[in-house]
């Protein structure tokens, strides 16, 4: 499956007093990677929501390897694990400077009808862009 990489610099507010990225911020980094991966395919969360589809995270796993620090340039590599049905699954690698692996992660999100909060099949127009 195709992957997408998104890079940014760690901001001061994402760190603790030691200048180390607070572990809870990694979930936001994964979301940024996922949103940019989808955007690169012409799919936006905003557009999905306007069409009555929401994508809540139902599983999140992060394995921390090394610490990211304030002002580090980090890269989130996002890859679709397989074509979705009712769920969509992503694998991630977060790299620090010099491409050292800082963390690996996996998320699973469910396609839900915005009005009913009930699971739905991945919309065809999204599936076409992912194929």
Q: Which residues are catalytic?
A: 16
83 three-state secondary structure:
coil
Residue whose pair of structure tokens reads 């180390």 in the numeric block: 20
**Contact assessment for residue 102 and residue 62, using Cβ atoms and an 8 Å cutoff:** no
Q: How far is CA 1 from the centre of its chain?
A: 15
Q: State the Cα torsion 24-20-94-122 to the nearest 10°.
A: 20
């Amino acid at each position: 499956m195709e992957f997408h990489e998104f890079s940014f610099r760690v901001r001061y507010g994402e760190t603790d007093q030691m200048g180390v990225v607070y572990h809870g911020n990694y979930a936001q980094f994964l979301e940024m990677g996922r949103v940019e991966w989808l955007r690169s395919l012409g799919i936006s969360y905003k557009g999905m929501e306007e069409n009555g589809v929401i994508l809540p995270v139902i599983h999140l796993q992060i394995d921390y390897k090394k610490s990211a620090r304030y002002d580090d340039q980090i890269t989130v590599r996002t890859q679709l694990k397989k074509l979705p049905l009712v769920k969509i699954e992503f694998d991630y690698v977060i790299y620090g400077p010099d491409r050292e692996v800082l963390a690996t992660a996996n998320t699973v999100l469910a396609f839900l009808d915005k009005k009913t909060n009930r699971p739905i099949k991945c919309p065809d127009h999204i599936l076409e862009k992912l194929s």
